[in-house]
Amino acid sequence: MTDSASITPELIAAQTEASMEELGRRLDDDDYSTPFAALNDWHLLRAIAIHRPELARPYVHLVDQEPFDED
């Protein structure tokens, strides 16, 4: 897990298929000690999906980008 404020271009560039598999597993299991830990992983996956979509492609289903219906 990483703090969403510490997501840097270097962190994104350092991701590998193995680290993405681990990130995807954590998000899929959704077994976090706090909601903030899950949110930090989600922010990292979202940043990777934007900047390195080839790595995030197998996990894009975990990035919920559906519009909210607040009514």
pTM higher than 0.95 for the full model?
A: no
Query: Is residue 68 a part of any domain in this protein?
Result: no
Confidence of residue 3 (pLDDT cuts 50, 70, 90): low
Name the domain count of the chain.
1
Query: Is residue 14 a part of any domain in this protein?
Result: yes
pLDDT of res. 63 = 84
Query: Is residue 71 a part of any domain in this protein?
Result: no
Given a contact cutoff of 8 angstroms between Cβ atoms, the answer to whether 58 and 24 are in contact is: yes
pLDDT of res. 65 = 60
Residue 41: HSE in the Cβ half-sphere, 13 Å Cα cutoff: 23
Given a contact cutoff of 8 angstroms between Cβ atoms, the answer to whether 62 and 45 are in contact is: yes
Q: What is the pLDDT of residues 51-70, one digit of tens each?
A: 999 999 999 898 866 554 55
Domain around 34? 4-62
